[in-house]
Chain A
Amino acid sequence: MSGSPDSEIIELDVRTDEMLVNMGPQHPSTHGVLRLVLRTDGEVVSEAVPHIGYLHRCAEKIGENLTPRQFVPYTDRMDYLAGMNMNLGWSLAVEKLLTYDLPDKVRHTRVIIAELNRIASHLVGMGTYGLDLGTFSPFLYAFREREKILDLLEACCGARLTYSYITPGGVTADLPPGWVEQCSAFLDQFEPQIPDYHALLTTNAIFIKRTAGIGIMAPEMAIAYGCSGPVLRGSGVDYDLRRNGHPRYTSLYDGYTFEVIVQRDGSYPKDQVYPAVPTEAVLGDCWHRFYVRMLEVVQAIKLIRQGLAFYQQATGDWGTPIKLNTKLPKGEAYLETECPRGQMGFYVVSDGNTPIPRRVRARSSCFCNLSVVEELCRGCLIADIPAIVGSLDIVMGEIDR
């Protein structure tokens, strides 16, 4: 239906009346409280307009009334599926303003924790994507493994969702005794499970039918909309802040080897055996975005394994979190990190001589990723809406802040 050369004229097989449908904010597959207003013509969606703001909690304004360390728990609640990565982004931004340097041990702890949380986040993304497409079982398989990751994170900081573990100046506590062994035991157990997920989703014929060739986003379009993370790399743009970012962030990954999962010259990295790309899949479609996430899980496992080895040999302590009332120097700092959903930037401005920043802003990856919905969903079917929105893997907490 969308193949008509002039996008202004839509030709319909059988004309029906247009209907304006409200998808959300209470809808099972809008990932929280997204509201999409659909203009439908039978099953065909001629227009989809996202409406946001149902989860707005004034996080940025709160940040202007608290000290940086007090603000850490609020960052947890932005992308609540990857709280550790949010903590990390905020901490690095504040440390950049303070020009604070960290011991080696903190560096490796942060890498391990952030990547562990990335796996947990991608598992939720994968499971709920299955739900969006109408299969329930992969969701529970994903949550079974995610529970174990949450157990590990709980052992670190006592919380399972809103951690506040990584904090400006270091982390709130060292990894508990025996944690490294538990973590590597988990990885050994988890890695053989991944083929199950590929069998249930990635290579499933119906899954491929539902996702391949749907919601195709050209690389230029992805860049133009400011997409990032797996959404950008799913379109074939070779860009990962862990490699291309600010030195303060990339230096965390010094000494680590990992592949940036992106299709280069028509093929994905071949450091391990991954399921083959189906012939129906087009670069930039829902299937590729999903596939990139699945492969990033494998890379994260690799990174954690290296991190655990580095951590055991690392010198120094687990850092000294800054004092609650540490005065911020006059100036500003902006730093972006590679979160599971894309590049998450924090911006801090200080007037100097006060512990409370003048301005706090956050750059949300999901916000940009969501903005493509209007263009991707034009002319698709109603059933494709969950497939496309799900493949963008948005978290409303981060968009509305």
Chain B
Amino acid sequence: MIVLLADTGGAAINWHTVMFYVVALAACGFAAMVAVSSNIVRMAFALIVCLSAVSGLLFLAGAHFVAAMQLMVYVGGTVVLLVFGVMLTAQKAFVSMKTTAGDWILGLVVGGTLLAILGQLIFAVPEWRHSDYQARAEAELAAYEEQLKSHIASGQDVTEAQRRRLADLITLARQGHPEETAQIGLALVGVRADRPSPEVAGYSGYLLPFEIVSVHLLVVLVGAAYLARAKRRRKPLLSSGVSTP
């Protein structure tokens, strides 16, 4: 589908751009709905659509792994747990949230700070690149094939390294970019494939943050389970005339 929506040059409609606007609008609109809605489950639903739309944006940007991760962790995991928690703890069927003035101020401060940081980040990126891996990989392969053709035509022999590089390019062109995913995995266990010298401090991968986050999660889980445990005296027996709602 990425191929399908690729930049079609001077076409009357650029599907990639159209899809980007549609998905981005959906993300923003449902994000606003999360803030506006007072029904907590509708809020969760809007959050789901918003996060799925963000995942869609990532797909459009060609970051398939991150997009799928977004779906799995945020949409599939976190929000489901959120709704689950709401269902387990809700006093009655539909909970409405009432926002006080203090909540508004707090929310605005936190949200504003986040927005400022994000805005700063956007303008800090030196260059926004097109990320159509498939087209790029194919172009690269074609270019290299041409190069090899002329290389052979000039009567030179093909070296093992060149053959290897051709095979690699074929792999990339046929498969997209599996390396991108592999690099993320390697970085998480401490090997930064995108950095030339792993010895340099600060470029040693994400093993430590990864471990800290894991231990932190474990501590949170244990603490939550401990807090949720409670002893309680049995309520008086139901009288036979109890009418149930």
Contacts and interface: CB of A to CB of B under 8 A. Distances in A.
Q: Do chains A and B touch in the complex (CB under 8 A)?
A: yes
Interface of A: 7-18, 20-22, 37, 39, 42, 46-47, 49, 51
B89 A17 contact: yes
Contacts of B242: 20, 37, 49
Which A-B residue pairs are the 3 nearest by beta carbons?
A15-B230, A22-B244, A14-B228
Contacts of B130: none
Contacts of B230: 11-12, 15
A240 B232 CA distance: 43
Report the contact-size class of chain B (Cβ under 8 Å from the partner). Answer: 10 to 19
A17 B90 contact: yes
Contacts of B88: 14, 16-17, 42
B232 A9 contact: yes
Contacts of B89: 16-17
A84 B18 CA distance: 77
Contact of A9 (B225, B231, B237, B240): B231
B244 A11 contact: no
Contacts of B91: 17
Nearest to A11: B231
A14 B229 CA distance: 5
A51 B240 contact: yes
A8 B89 CA distance: 23
Contacts of B240: 49, 51
Given A39-B238, A47-B237, A20 B245 contact: yes
B232 A10 contact: yes
B233 to A, nearest CB: 6
Given A21-B244, A42-B88, A37 B238 contact: yes
**SS class of chain A's interface: helix, strand, loop or mixed?**
strand
Interface of B: 88-91, 225, 228-235, 237-238, 240, 242, 244-245
23 contacts: A8-B234, A9-B233, A9-B234, A10-B234, A11-B230, A11-B231, A13-B229, A14-B225, A15-B229, A16-B89, A18-B235, A20-B244, A22-B244, A37-B238, A37-B242, A42-B88, A46-B234, A47-B237, A47-B238, A49-B237, A49-B238, A49-B240, A49-B242
A15 to B, nearest CB: 4
Contacts of B231: 9-12
A16 B87 CA distance: 9
A366 to B, nearest CB: 19
B236 to A, nearest CB: 10
A13 B233 CA distance: 14
A42 B91 CA distance: 13
A10 B240 CA distance: 22
B191 to A, nearest CB: 40
A8 B240 CA distance: 20
Contacts of B237: 47, 49
Contacts of A13: 225, 228-229
B242 to A, nearest CB: 6
A395 to B, nearest CB: 22
A363 to B, nearest CB: 22
Contacts of B238: 37, 39, 47, 49
Contacts of A37: 238, 242, 244
A221 B233 CA distance: 25
Contacts of A17: 88-91
Contacts of A10: 231-232, 234
A39 B229 contact: no
